[in-house]
Copies of this chain bind each other. A is one copy, B any other.
Amino acid sequence: MDTTETLATFITSFDGAKIPEAVRAIAVRSLVNWAGCALGGARHPALLNAMTAMRPFVGAPQASVIGRSDRVDALNAALFNGISSHVLDFDDTHMATLVHPSGPVLSALLALAEYQPIDGNTFVEAIVFGIEVECRIALGVCPAHYDIGWHVTGTVGGFGAAAAVGRALKLDAKQMAWALGIAATQAAGLREVFGTMCKSLHPGRAAQSGLSAALMAQSGFTSSLRAIEAPRGFAKVLSTEQHLEKTTEGLGTVWHTLENSFKPYACGLVIHPIIDGCLSLRQQHQFSSDDVKQIDLKVHPLVLELTGKSAPTTGLEGKFSVQHSAAIVTHEGKSQARQYSDAAVQIPAVNTLRSKVQVAIEPGLRVDEAKVTMTLQDGRVLYHHVIHALGSIERPMNDEQVDAKFMDLASNVMTPDQANQALAACRAVGQASDAGVVGRALSVGL
């Protein structure tokens, strides 16, 4: 069987009871992390501008816009929550491919669940199928796919959303293959728009496209049954390399969902080891940012490629600036959402420090590894080698850390009581008779 049909059969036929407990746990942790990020992004101008533009066209109030009182049709909810969950660049990452899996999958699935009740067990399983399929298709085309300029979250996100929704809707295998085909032919998202509001549009559109793909397939809207692997299909057209054996091998026994990782810091993931290093030096040695003469960073090549904006002028650009990140965390001892505001990149002391940051590529370093050397005005030279950044597979955030991150992000729009209730709803979703309760708990009266 070919890739598309193999995946479609897996999504529609695999016995959910055989999903390991550890995989389910990651699905729920993904939900908590995604919901926290969406709450944190609920007042972001990218979301507000998108909502202003779309408001005249929204349909019936079927689903929540997370962190807000608005209720909109499920397709627009998927769009809006996809935007808000990614706009802080704080969401989850499948490191092997750089996919941010939950934005597309959960934004689509929760919108569906509010529109059409889904029991909690089915909901958690659908998350797994969504993330698993999304990461596996990405493995079939990455890294070349990303290297040539595709934002892989935008391109494979629609498959993930379609898989999750298709599983929840109990599509048959042919409908599921069509849904993957409808998602394939809507796959989009260019890295050129990084640093603009369009980056967060990618998971939003992927969620919306994948949700509509599954619904259209259910209504008999046909597509190719070979849209992933065919000569003019997704993998060939959108990548210079194909490894589709990775997409299907070990289906049902190997779970890439286990490799989903969560970010402790609100910036580009490749910057995280540098932040760890700066934080460690700051905590071990007593100095202020004024004492710093120079910061030398040895990094993986992707750091400069993805996050080399040496003179960011907005908070959004700051998230893609290794220089700003090293400077702000050395100055403030934190690297949360507030450290990537428009105001934060304008702080004079931080800008001064930024100009003292030297970044050099060191061949052989992993992407979660970095070496930080701080030279102080008094002549001291401090050094820290970060082997694995916090949030990496080898040093993952645990549930307590992710819950704390949720509470911090939720404080953007919720009282602690509301946030505790919303967190509890996420954590208990597997036992809920109606998973839509999560959406309602994440909705607040802004």
Residues of A within 8 A of B (CB): 45-46, 49-50, 52-54, 56-60, 62, 73-76, 115, 148-151, 154, 181-182, 184-193, 196-198, 201-202, 205, 212, 215-216, 218-224, 226-227, 230-234, 236-237
B46, B58, B186, B193: which contacts A224 (Cβ < 8 A)? Answer: B193
Assess the A192–B49 pair: CB atoms within 8 A.
no
* Partner among B59, B151, B196, B223 whose Cβ is within 8 Å of the Cβ of A181: B196
Distance between A108 CB and nearest chain B CB, rounded to angstroms: 13
Q: Are A237 and B148 in contact (CB under 8 A)?
A: yes
Q: In this complex, which of A115, A202, A220 has the most chain B Cβ atoms within 10 angstroms of its Cβ?
A: A220
From known contacts A49-B216, A188-B188, A190-B185, infer whether A58 and B56 are also in contact, taking CB-CB under 8 Å: no
Residues from chain B with Cβ under 8 Å of A221 in the complex? 46, 49-50, 53, 197-198, 201
Flag if A56 contacts B115 (CB, 8 Å): yes
Given A54-B215, A181-B198, 17 more A-B residue pairs with CB atoms under 8 Å apart are: A50-B221, A54-B75, A56-B60, A57-B75, A58-B59, A148-B232, A149-B233, A181-B196, A185-B189, A187-B188, A190-B227, A191-B237, A192-B231, A193-B223, A193-B224, A193-B227, A198-B224
A201 to B115, alpha carbons, bound, how many Å? Answer: 24
- Whether the pair A192, B224 counts as a contact (CB closer than 8 A) is yes
Bound CA span A188–B234, Å: 10
A224 touching B196, Cβ below 8 Å:
yes
Which residue of B is nearest A191, CB measured?
B232
A186: B residues at CB distance < 8 A = 188-189, 201, 205
Stoichiometry (number of copies): 2
Residue among A182, A186, A192, A220 with most chain B CB within 10 A? A192
Complex: how many Å from CA A192 to CA B231?
A: 7
A233 to B184, CA, bound (A): 20
Q: Which residues of B contact A197 (CB under 8 A)?
A: 221-223
* Assembly CA distance A377 to B148 (angstroms): 57
A185 to B184, CA, bound (A): 15
CA–CA, A151 and B54, complex, Å: 27
- Residues in B whose Cβ lies below 8 Å from that of A189: 185-186
Across the interface, do A192 and B185 meet the contact criterion of CB distance under 8 Å?
A: yes
Q: Could you tell me if A59 and B46 are in contact, using CB atoms closer than 8 angstroms? A: no
